[in-house]
Amino acid sequence: MAAGIIGALTAAPAVIEGITNIIGRFIPDPGQQAQAAIEMQKLVVDREAAAATAAAEIAKAQAETNTAEAQNPSMFVGGWRPFVGWVCGIGLLYVALLQPGLAWLTGIVNAAFGIGIPMPPVPPSEVLMTVLTGMLGIAGLRSYDKQKGTAAPTIAAKR
């Protein structure tokens, strides 16, 4: 839903221009055209402000939900994020270190003793990396904040 709101906000200048062109076709008087265009621009700006407010309220509600989940003593409510983090960490450990090491060791044992121990499986890591990068927030947003000068100087909680 927030993506739709953001898309609507970025499309507003094109909408205003299109409305102004349509007004020019139906209202012959230039003074009335200007007045109608101003009224339409006010409506679009008010709609943009309402959409931005709604997006901020949605983000605030999600943050409150996240806080409530994290503070819940039940492992089934507050423990799902750590669980997913541990699963991703263990999966990354296997994909990056254990599987290659086991494959190397299996190859040596097979060559030295002439037996056919199967190679350890190589799980697909695309889903693992997608979830892990999402959890860690690796999306370039921190760099974007630094460029815009909106990055927080520290991670400490604001008072």
> What is residue 47's predicted lDDT score, i.e. its pLDDT?
86
pLDDT of residue 73: 75
Series of mean pLDDT values for 10-residue runs along the chain (159 residues): 52 70 75 81 85 87 78 72 83 91 93 90 85 73 71 56
At 28 the pLDDT is 76
The pLDDT value given to residue 1:
47
Full 3-state SS string of the chain: CHHHHHHHHHHHHHHHHHHHHHHHHHCCCHHHHHHHHHHHHHHHHHHHHHHHHHHHHHHHHHHHHHHHHHHCCCHHHHCHHHHHHHHHHHHHHHHHHHHHHHHHHHHHHHHHHCCCCCCCCCCCCHHHHHHHHHHHCCCCHHHHHHHHCCCCCCCCCCC
Is the pTM higher than 0.85? no
